[in-house]
Amino acid sequence: MAVITLAGATLSFAQTAQDVAVIVHPKNTVDNLTMADLAKIFRGERQYWRSNLPVLVLLRSSGSHEREVLLRNVFHMTESEYKQYWVSKIMRAEATSPPTDLYSNGMAKEGVASIPGSIACISAADLRPGVKVVRINGHLPGEPGYPLH
Amino acid sequence: MSRHTWFLTALLLASVFTRAETTGGQSEDVKALLQRIDQLEQRVAELEAGKNTSTAHLQDLKAQDTQIPTGQTVEEHLSTQMHDEHSQNVRDVEGHFPSMQLRGFGDVDFSATDERGTTSGFTLGQFVLHVASPLSKKVAYFGELSFTAQPTSYTADVERSIIRYSYNDHFKLSFGRYHTPINYWNTAFHHGLWLQTTISRPEMIRFGGRFLPVHFLGMLAEGNIPSGSLGLGYEVGLGNGRAGTISRAGDNGDVNSNRAWVGRIFARPAAMRDLQIGGAFYRDKITPIPALTGTPSFGEWISSAQIAWTHETPELISEFANVHHRNNLTGNIYNSQAYYIQLAYRLPWEARKWKPYYRFEYTHVPASEPLFSAPAFEVTDLVGSTAGVRFDITDFAAFKWEYRHTKHRPTDPPVNGVFVQTAFTF
């Protein structure tokens, strides 16, 4: 069985086929986020890391498995509600734009590896070196209790 | 109301039953294409792994003084090209400064009431343009312009113009013209009528109204308060406050040398998504123009409370405000109150497009209140009910039908009206 090791975590492809990993830049000091933290970040309610570095949210485009997992588990919205949410948020001057939509996990990985404040969700099966995988509620993709799948 | 009014309403009702184009097939195509991209990326990764092996092999050959000039040149060229494309992609993802984003809001309305002296008919609502532009990673500009139809022309207004410097989530400082954060509705929906469930705003925060100051010009500090799952936030502002006409902000300078203060604290608990509870205060000195008899000024102290549960199943928005005026000439004190409660529910059928709603609102102004009873600054008592339904014909356009029953002074007859609106964003 093929195995990859990232940020001290050992993940198996068989276990992670449907899991969605949360990745950040390797120099980001965050190791663990709760689902509530993740919701605040992706909903644009938390816009800075503790180091005062601005958060840049990268999101897979509409129709992707990763986006569906996030909409269901983090946003608790449909695609339509998600679009309306960001129109409303920008109108309220709480954000200047919605999260950047990316067409592939490769683009998301490249963005996170290059931009220090970025965060993205990609299929755990597509993880490659160069990014840091964050624990969610203390769990990594493939572990029992991991919530993003 | 004429038969034409009912015919028009029936026609609009019938029109919304037209089914929207199905996009299911396109969605499946997009999913398939995205999966294909992921498969191709995996294939590229595998090939790159193979290429690295080839490169090592080529280097071995070079060490053995084998001539491979063509392959080497192509490899270097490809490597440079891939690096340039990667840098370009990352720059695109990171964003450009400034990068202006424009969004518009509009509405077309029809109204018919039994109020004496009014005529039924269509009106072109406000045409609103909203601008958002990041100027750097921590500085952003927001603007809102409105164009409103008048009998002989259109009036253009700068509704909001804000530049914000963000240090972190806990401290953001901005300067400009705002919708006063004394009221939830005022800061949640602004001039985007598509955003609000109903056709009309509550009377207490009506555009051009005088009960609460809709606009505020000055500076505002805002941010989150470290409070864990309670999700506390604050806003504190210092500005010009009300102009002499009291329905407007002092855009071209304050009418007196006393600044207005506004403060708001709110909670968005993590455990109850879409719930916001808050309270606010506002302090100002009002110098009415034209002056009242004896030229009094008024100390104003507004306190308000809000609760908004925007989950849609149900939606509940309720606000209360007390406007405390002190006549600085006589020392007399007057308190006026207003509140509203609005309930709505997104129905589960027909792709969740229907949302019926009801709102009750109430305003009380003491008869002896010298400012709000003066003809130029008049605010009257109100007991009103609004019932309606919203139909979202697409993700970004809605039809609304509304019936209103309002009664102002005890001596005034009640007013009944039917209103129809299509509101949209583009």
Q: What is the ipTM, given to two decimal places?
A: 0.88
Mark whether B41 and B186 lie in a shared domain.
Answer: no
Q: Do A96 and B86 touch (CB under 8 A)?
A: no
- A110 reaches B (C-beta below 8 A): yes
Where a domain ends, among B94, B127, B146?
B94
State the residue for tokens 């509409």: A62
Query: What's the pLDDT tens digit per position in B375-412?
Result: 999 999 999 999 999 999 999 999 999 999 999 988 89
Q: Which of A63, A95, A111 sits opposite B34 (nearest CB)?
A: A63
What percentage of chain A carries pLDDT values higher than 90? 82
**DSSP character string of B8-33:** HHHHHHHHTTSPPPP-HHHHHHHHHH
Residue at B337 is within a domain: yes
Q: State the best of B83, B168, B268, B352 to mutate against chain A, taking most chain A CBs within 10 Å.
A: B168
Cβ distance B132 to A39 less than 8 Å, yes or no, reads no
Using one digit for the tens of pLDDT, what is the confidence trace for A78-119? 999 999 999 999 999 999 999 999 999 999 999 999 999 999
**What pLDDT is attached to residue B45?**
73
| Contact between residue B258 and residue B285 where contact means Cβ atoms under 8 Å apart | yes
In this structure, are B201 and B341 located in the same domain?
Answer: yes
Same domain, B349 and B421: yes
Query: B268-317, pLDDT tens digit by residue?
Result: 998 888 999 999 999 999 999 999 999 999 999 999 999 999 989 999 99
- Total domains, chain B: 2
**What confidence tier does B30 reach under pLDDT thresholds 50, 70, 90?**
confident
From residue A108, give the alpha-carbon distance in Å to each of A57, A68, B34, B109: 10, 16, 13, 44
Asked if residues B187 and A92 have their Cβ atoms less than 8 Å apart, the reply is: yes
Which of A52, A64, A107 faces B89 most closely, judged by CB atoms? A107
Of A63, A76, A107, the CB nearest to B30: A63
Question: Is the whole model's pTM more than 0.80, yes or no?
Answer: yes
Structural domain range at position A74 = 3-136
Best B34, B101, B161 member to test A by mutation, with max A CBs in 10 Å, is B34
* pLDDT at B29 (0 to 100): 72
Mean pLDDT of B238-254: 92
Residues B137 and B243 reside in one and the same domain: yes
Q: With an 8 Å Cβ cutoff, is B138 touching chain A?
A: yes
Chain B, 255-274: which have a CB under 8 Å from a chain A CB? 268, 270, 273
pLDDT score at B67: 42
> With b meaning 16 or more CB within 10 Å and e meaning fewer, what string describes B13-42?
eeebeeeeeeeeeeeeebeeebeebbeebe
Residues constituting chain B: 426
Band of pLDDT at residue A12, cut at 50, 70 and 90: low
Residues of A in contact with B142 (CB under 8 A): 93, 96
- Give the number of domains in chain A: 1
Considering the domain architecture, whether residues B369 and B320 belong to the same structural domain is answered as: yes
Least confident of B186-190, B246-250, B286-290: B246-250
CATH classification of the domain holding B163: 2.40.160.10
| Residue A30 sits at the chain B interface (C-beta within 8 Å) | no
For the segment B145-177, what is each residue's pLDDT rounded down to a tens digit?
A: 999 999 899 999 999 999 999 999 999 999 999
CB contact under 8 A, B101 and A96: yes
Contacts of A129 in chain B (CB under 8 A): none
- Evaluate whether residue B81 is within a structural domain: yes
pLDDT value at B194 more than 50? yes
**Token digits of residue B308:** 């908004």
Token reading at B231: 């999700």
Residues of B in contact with A112 (CB under 8 A): none
Average pLDDT, chain A: 89
Q: Verify that B358 and B248 share a domain, yes or no.
A: yes
Predicted pLDDT at B11: 46
- Show the domain range for B86: 24-94
Contacts of B44 in chain A (CB under 8 A): 106
A7-16, B137-146, B238-247, B415-424: least confidently modelled range: A7-16
Interface of B with A in 280-339 (CB under 8 A): none
B229 contacts in chain A (CB < 8 Å): 36
Q: Cβ-count burial of B331 within 10 angstroms (0-12 exposed, 13-18 middle, 19+ buried)?
A: exposed
Task: Quickly state the pLDDT bin for B13 (edges 50, 70, 90).
Answer: very low
Q: What is the average pLDDT across B51-71?
A: 46
pLDDT of residue A148: 94
Position B310 in a domain:
yes
Give yes or no: residues B330 and B394 share one domain. Answer: yes
